[in-house]
Amino acid sequence: MQIIKDRKIVEDNWLHLDDEAADLVLGDVTVTLERWQAEHESLVKHNGGLGIRLSGDDPLEEIIPDLDKFKLVVLNFPAFTDGRCYSFARLLRDRYDYKGEIRAQGDILHDQLFYMSQCGINSFEMASSHRLIDAMAAFDDFSESYQTTVLKPEPLYRRR
């Protein structure tokens, strides 16, 4: 499967494990918050990259003490109208200084990619991956933003 990461189309090497998967597999895996809470001790010892998947319903604060253990935080956007994870991305970058990969997953529209990147999301797992080349153009839709962003922490009037 291909994704957009750091404004490039790349192969995805992460496997998303569901809660019913009995054993961990070798390599890079993501788990839900529920599985992380239930299997914390064994997951920390996993031989490979570890990521966590969050939805807008999950309490972000519960992963903060363990944030350094995750190479990837996947934020699920179940519908393009659900913007709760925009806040999660911004908090992870600004308040908690998370330097790892933050991925948007789900119902992501072309129009949202620029704004998601401004919040600190640097990879995108889109529902329809066959349109990735078209989606790349979204990052150049706007040359400036008035408000502060993760990428441009000063407002426009201070950048002039």
* pLDDT higher at 101 or 22: 101
Residues 6+ apart with CB under 8 A from 65: none
Q: For 21-39, write each residue's pLDDT tens digit.
A: 767 778 899 999 999 999 9
Residues spanned by the domain of 11: 2-159
DSSP bridge partners of 77: 106
pLDDT above 80: residue 156:
no
> What value does the mean pLDDT of the chain take?
88
- Following DSSP, what letter does each residue of 61-126 receive, concatenated? GGTGGGGGG-SEEEEEESSTT--HHHHHHHHHHHTS---SEEEEEES--HHHHHHHHHTT--EEEE
At 54, which CATH number? 3.20.20.70
Band the pLDDT of 129: cuts 50, 70, 90. low
pLDDT for the residue numbered 7: 92
**pTM reported for the whole predicted model:** 0.88
What's the total number of domains in the chain?
Answer: 1
